[in-house]
Every structure is written in C-alpha cells, then in structure tokens.
Amino acid sequence: MRITVLLGGHLRTEAVEGPQERVLEVPPNSRVEDLFSALGLPLQRIGMILLNGKGATPDHELQDGDRVGLFPPELRYNTFVSMYFRPEHIRARDRKEEN
C-alpha cells in the first residue's frame, strides 16, 4: 500500500532523511504506529496524528492512498482546533460514529 506522510515541526529533521512529505510503501493491515519505526521516530515524539484530515490514534488501520500528518507534542496545543484531535476526543467520536 502507498501512504503519503506529512511531517510537521521538528519531526521534519528528526525522521530518517527525506522530504517533509513522502510516500511510503507499507504492507496490508499496517497501522499508523507502523509508520513511526519506518520513519525512525519514537512514539513519544508524536503529539498529534491526522489521518485523511481527521484526528487519529496510533492504532488506526491504514488503507491504500491514506494521507497521514504527524506532528510533535510541542505543536499539539498550538491552536484551539487541535483539542479536537486529542486521543480521548477521537475515541469518543469513533464510538459515536459506530452507534
């Protein structure tokens, strides 16, 4: 599967060498967290995840063509909007959508 990853803030320089936006090949059934090791980033350096423009958690399953934005903790609370992307809000939204 081909996944496009956009790195925000200092993650641009902390990840393995490459452009800010890059396309990665990942196996089927991969999750967002699988991208971290492919990029050489530890989990604690990921403060906010966007999956196709919506907040996501590391355990979200990826689909071919997904776009993933990864941002460091220091950018997590830069705007009021980022509150919507906190893991607890994402899980609550996902539960609501399932019902």
Question: Which is more confident, 73 or 27?
Answer: 27
pLDDT at 78 over 80: no
Query: What CA–CA distances, in Å, run from 33 to 58, 81, 96?
Result: 5, 23, 23
Contacting residues for 9 by C-beta, under 8 A, at least 6 apart = 71, 72, 74, 75
- Ordered domains of the chain (ranges, CATH): 2-98 (3.10.20.30)
Determine the Cα angle at 87 with ends 3 and 94, to 5°: 80
Query: Is residue 62 very low, low, confident or very high in pLDDT (cuts 50, 70, 90)?
Result: very high
The pLDDT tens digits of the residues spanning 11-26 come to 989 999 888 899 999 9
pLDDT at 84 over 60: no
Share of the chain above pLDDT 90, in %: 55
